[in-house]
Amino acid sequence: EVQLVESGGGLVQAGGSLRLSCAASGFTSDDYAIGWFRQAPGKEREGVSCISTRDDNTYYADSVKGRFTISRDYAKNTVYLQMNSLKSEDTGVYYCAADVRVPVNPWLSGYWHGSWGQGTQVVVFP
């Protein structure tokens, strides 16, 4: 069974940077997709970014384009989310999700049918 573990969250001032990690294990194939989501209290979980390990294609929500970068380290089975120029609205619990491929609608959590990590908290303060 696929297991995902997020790390790298913490407190950061606006304009600063964080790098989140999603360590994956238990895949039976090297062809899969990893997505990053975030959720603030009282709000819906929203898609942030995702990557396909098959073709290394990347996708970004409009709200983070130009500020966030998703990448992978195949040897370490880890996907990273480099977050720069952080804003207060980036605050939330960040989760990674896995699926066999990038879903037809990767921005909705319900389209991801694989595993989810337990999340790592990001707090951006003024």
Q: Cα separation of 85 and 57, whole Å?
A: 23
Contacts of 44 (CB under 8 A, 6+ apart): none
pLDDT tens digits for 92-108? Answer: 999 999 998 999 999 99
| 1: confidence class by pLDDT, cuts 50, 70, 90 | confident
Question: Rounded to the nearest 5 degrees, what angle is found at the Cα of 74, between the Cα atoms of 70 and 77?
Answer: 85
| Res 14: pLDDT | 98
DSSP state, 26? -
Joined together, the tokens standing for residue 126 give 């003024």
The per-residue pLDDT for 80 is 97
Q: How far is CA 21 from CA 43, 61, 100, 105, 117, in A?
A: 23, 18, 19, 23, 11
pLDDT in tens, 73-91: 988 889 999 999 999 999 9
